[in-house]
C-alpha cells in the first residue's frame, strides 16, 4: 500500500524525465546512469515530501502577502445592518449619538421647535422623549444609541427631553458622553409657563386643587411653594448654574418660546445657525393657525393637509386671580434678571 499516492505520481514523472536525460547522456558518451525516482523506497521519498510541503507553504505565504497589499473594502462598524461599502453608490447609514439635545424647558415650546427642525433635510430626530439622562441612564449607552434614527454623513442627530434641564445629574452625564454636545433651551415667561404646566396636569387630573392653592405654601398669600414643580421649573437661573459647571455658555442656545410663536422663521434662523445648518426652514414653511393661536407648518409635499401640533397644544388656560399673578411675577423677577445676565439676553418678561 502506497503512503503518498499524489507524490508517488510526481516522483514517477521525475523518474521518467531523469531516465530520458540519462539515456541522452549515455548516447553522447557520458555514460552517466539515470536515476530512477520511481523505484525509491518510501523512506527515501519522505524528505522529498517534506521539501515540497515547505515549497507549497512558501508559495501560499507569498500569495497571501500580495492579497494583503491590495486595497480592502472598508465597512462601517456602526451600521446596524452590517457594513455598507464606503465610497460605493449605496449611502452609508449609521446610528449616532445626538450632536444636539433640546434639554428644556417643559411647556416652553420644545415640541414645536423639534417639529420645525425636522423639516430640515439635514436633521434627524427621535420622535419620543428618550429620558435617558434622567430616568433611564442605567439602561446604558447601547440602549440609548439604539433609539437614534439612522443618519447619513453630514446629517445631525437630535433628541429632546425637557426634564434634563432641571435634573441635577443630567449635565454630568451628558458631558461624560460628549463635551461637544450642543444644548438648546427653549424658555418662556415663567408665570405663563407655570399656568400652562398646571393646565396640562389638570386635563389629566380634573380633581386637582386650584392653581393658587398649589402655588402658595400652606394657603399663604405670600409664601411661594418652590417644591411644586410648576413653580420650580421656572427658576431658570438656578438650573442653568448647574449646567454651566460642565459646559461653557458657548455650547448653549436659548430660544424664546414667545418669539417661536410670533416669529417662528426668525427664531428658526438662529437655531439653524447655531447647529451649523443652511437656513432651509424659512417663513415660507409657516402659517398662523387662528384657532390654536400658534404657527403651523404649511402642507408638506405629498401630504393632504398642513401639519399642526396635537390637540394637547394650545389649550385654553384657566382664569387665575390677578393678585396671584402679580405675586408670582414679583417672586420670579430677581431670578429672571439673573438669567438675563447669565445668558446675555433680555427676554422681556415683566
Q: Is there a binding annotation on residue 175?
A: no
- Whole-number Å distance between alpha carbons of 249 and 242: 12
What H or E segment, with its residue span, contains residue 106? Answer: none
Q: Which residues are bridge partners to 286 per DSSP?
A: 297
Coil/strand/helix, residue 307:
strand
Q: Is there a binding annotation on residue 181?
A: no
Sequence-separated (6 or more) residues with CB below 8 Å from residue 151: 93, 94, 95, 96, 124, 157
Q: Is there a binding annotation on residue 109?
A: yes
Q: H helices within 147-222, ranges in order?
A: 170-177, 190-204, 211-215
Our answer to whether residue 107 is catalytic in this structure is yes
Sequence-separated (6 or more) residues with CB below 8 Å from residue 107: 162, 188, 193, 196, 197, 200
Catalytic residue among 41, 95, 106, 107: 107
Q: Is there a binding annotation on residue 196?
A: yes
Q: Is there a binding annotation on residue 27?
A: no
Q: Write 249-253 long-range contacts (CB < 8 A, 24+).
A: 249/342, 249/343, 249/344, 251/180, 251/181, 251/182, 251/183, 252/183, 252/184, 252/185, 252/343, 253/182, 253/183, 253/184, 253/185
- Whole-number Å distance between alpha carbons of 186 and 189: 11
> Given strand 182-187, what is the order of strands in its sheet?
123-125, 156-160, 100-104, 182-187, 252-256
As a whole number of Å, the CA-based R_g of the chain is 37
Q: Tell me if 123 sits within 8 A of 158, measured CB to CB.
A: yes
Q: Is there a binding annotation on residue 317?
A: yes
User: With helix as H, strand as E and coil as C, how does 248-289 read?
Assistant: CHHHEEEEEHHHHHHCHHHHHHHHHHHCCCCCCCCHHHEEEE
Q: Is there a binding annotation on residue 145?
A: no
Q: Is there a binding annotation on residue 315?
A: yes
Q: Is there a binding annotation on residue 313?
A: yes
Q: Which of 183, 166, 163, 185 minimizes the C-alpha distance to 175?
A: 183
Q: Is there a binding annotation on residue 140?
A: no
C-alpha cell of residue 174: 451628558
Q: Is there a binding annotation on residue 124?
A: no
- The annotated binding site for 3'-phosphoadenylyl sulfate is made up of 107-111, 188, 196, 313-317
Catalytic residues, by residue number, are 107
- The annotated binding site is made up of 107-111, 188, 196, 313-317
Amino acid at each position: 500500500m502506497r503512503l503518498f499516492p499524489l507524490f508517488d505520481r510526481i516522483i514517477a514523472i521525475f523518474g521518467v524525465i531523469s531516465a530520458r536525460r540519462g539515456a541522452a547522456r549515455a548516447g553522447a558518451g557520458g555514460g552517466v546512469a539515470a536515476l530512477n525516482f520511481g523505484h525509491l523506497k518510501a523512506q527515501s521519498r519522505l524528505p522529498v515530501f517534506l521539501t515540497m510541503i515547505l515549497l507549497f507553504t512558501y508559495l501560499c505565504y507569498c500569495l497571501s502577502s500580495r492579497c494583503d497589499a491590495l486595497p480592502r473594502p472598508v465597512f462601517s462598524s456602526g451600521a446596524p445592518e452590517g457594513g455598507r461599502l464606503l465610497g460605493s453608490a449605496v449611502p452609508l447609514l449609521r446610528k449616532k449619538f445626538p450632536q444636539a439635545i433640546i434639554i428644556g424647558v417643559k411647556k416652553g415650546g420644545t415640541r414645536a421647535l423639534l417639529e420645525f427642525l425636522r423639516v430640515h433635510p439635514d436633521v434627524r430626530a427621535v420622535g419620543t422623549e428618550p429620558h435617558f439622562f434622567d430616568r433611564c441612564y442605567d439602561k446604558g449607552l447601547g440602549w440609548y444609541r439604539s433609539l437614534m434614527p439612522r443618519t447619513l454623513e453630514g446629517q445631525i442627530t437630535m433628541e429632546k427631553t425637557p426634564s434634563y434641564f432641571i435634573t441635577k445629574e443630567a449635565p454630568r452625564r451628558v458631558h461624560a458622553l460628549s463635551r461637544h454636545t450642543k444644548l438648546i433651551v427653549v424658555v418662556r415667561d415663567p408665570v405663563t409657563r407655570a399656568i400652562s404646566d398646571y393646565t396640562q396636569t389638570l386635563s389629566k387630573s380634573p380633581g386637582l386643587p386650584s392653581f393658587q392653592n398649589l402655588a402658595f405654601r400652606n394657603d399663604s398669600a405670600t409664601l411661594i411653594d418652590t417644591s411644586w414643580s410648576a413653580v420650580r421649573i421656572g427658576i431658570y437661573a438656578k438650573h442653568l448654574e448647574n449646567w454651566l459647571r460642565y459646559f461653557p455658555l458657548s455650547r448653549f442656545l436659548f430660544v424664546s418660546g414667545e418669539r417661536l410663536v410670533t416669529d417662528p422663521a426668525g427664531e428658526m434662523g438662529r437655531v439653524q445657525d447655531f447647529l451649523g445648518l443652511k437656513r432651509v426652514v424659512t417663513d415660507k414653511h409657516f402659517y398662523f393657525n387662528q384657532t390654536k393661536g400658534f404657527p403651523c407648518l404649511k402642507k408638506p409635499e405629498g401630504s393632504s393637509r398642513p401639519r399642526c401640533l396635537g390637540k394637547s397644544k394650545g389649550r385654553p388656560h384657566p382664569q387665575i386671580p390677578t393678585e396671584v399673578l402679580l405675586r408670582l411675577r414679583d417672586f420670579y423677577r430677581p431670578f429672571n434678571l439673573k438669567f438675563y445676565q447669565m445668558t446675555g439676553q433680555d427676554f422681556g418678561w415683566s
